[in-house]
Amino acid sequence: MRKKILVIYDIPQQRAEIVESLSEHDVVSVSSYVEAHRQLLTKPELDLIVCAASLRDGSIFELLKMVKDDPATRQCLFLVVCFKPGQLARYFIDTVFSTAQLLGADHTLFSVGFDQKHFKEAVAQLLSPPTAPYDKSQRVSRERGRAASAVLINDLSAAEIILRQLHAAMVEEPNSFQQLDVAIVQQDLIDLLEKSGKPDEAAILRERLCDF
């Protein structure tokens, strides 16, 4: 079945390789943050967004937050990719990927060169019909992204509420949330605060959630 895919990549050759690999789907490609933002404002019906790990004219985190916070696009899968990185990109890529996952990215993909076979397999796996446990993990990913977004704007109360709701769901349905460890999610958010230069806020969140 053909899927609707938005490709956001600002390096022409790599964008062309990605689009060619997705020829069996309906693909729209853009080359900048501004173009991507304009596309998303129209609230398109998308199945997947493939986005570069960095864009010259804007933050992928803003685009990711825009997608996951909007009910009209929240269910869209978000794949963050990094192909043929320079030395600086290689140094920062782990932080970019971990932050993207906190904000709700569904998958990340890194390669020192564009591997079409590997890329197509990753996309096919993402687009395959989910099983029930995958539905649960999608909920966890979405709520984790909401909590990370709250942390980034210093709304610690909202982050606490979201984490407590996830904890309650895990207690009520333990078999459905085997992959969820709320303590790990909590630590991820604390790490995000510390990496953002907010150690005081990290200490406050740790204290609020000390009963987990």
CATH number at residue 19: 3.40.50.2300
> What's the pLDDT score for residue 50?
97
Verify that 103 and 184 share a domain, yes or no: no
Q: Are strands 26-30 and 48-52 parallel, antiparallel or unpaired?
A: unpaired
Verify that 30 and 120 share a domain, yes or no: yes
> What's the pLDDT score for residue 37?
93
Beta strands in the chain (DSSP E): 4-8, 26-30, 48-52, 77-83, 107-111
Verify that 120 and 148 share a domain, yes or no: no
Verify that 144 and 191 share a domain, yes or no: yes
Instruction: Please give the tally of structural domains in the chain.
Output: 2
Query: Distance (Å, rounded) from C-alpha 190 to C-alpha 205?
Result: 7
Q: Within 13 Å and on the Cβ side, how many CA atoms surround 52? A: 29
> What's the pLDDT score for residue 28?
96
Domain termination residue (choose one: 95, 127, 159): 127
User: Containing domain of residue 182, as a range?
Assistant: 132-208
Verify that 110 and 34 share a domain, yes or no: yes
Domain termination residue (choose one: 127, 147, 167): 127
Verify that 9 and 102 share a domain, yes or no: yes
Verify that 16 and 120 share a domain, yes or no: yes
Per-residue pLDDT of the chain (212 residues; tens, 9 = 90+): 899 999 999 999 999 999 999 999 999 999 999 999 999 998 889 999 999 998 888 889 899 988 988 888 888 999 999 887 666 666 678 788 888 887 888 888 988 788 899 899 999 988 986 554 445 556 666 666 667 666 666 666 767 666 676 666 666 665 554 445 566 677 777 777 777 777 887 888 778 777 65
The burial of 205, by beta-carbon neighbours within 10 Å (0-12 exposed, 13-18 middle, 19 or more buried), is given as buried
> What's the pLDDT score for residue 120?
93
Beta strands in 2-155 (DSSP E): 4-8, 26-30, 48-52, 77-83, 107-111
> What's the pLDDT score for residue 178?
46
Domain termination residue (choose one: 87, 108, 127): 127
> What's the pLDDT score for residue 31?
94
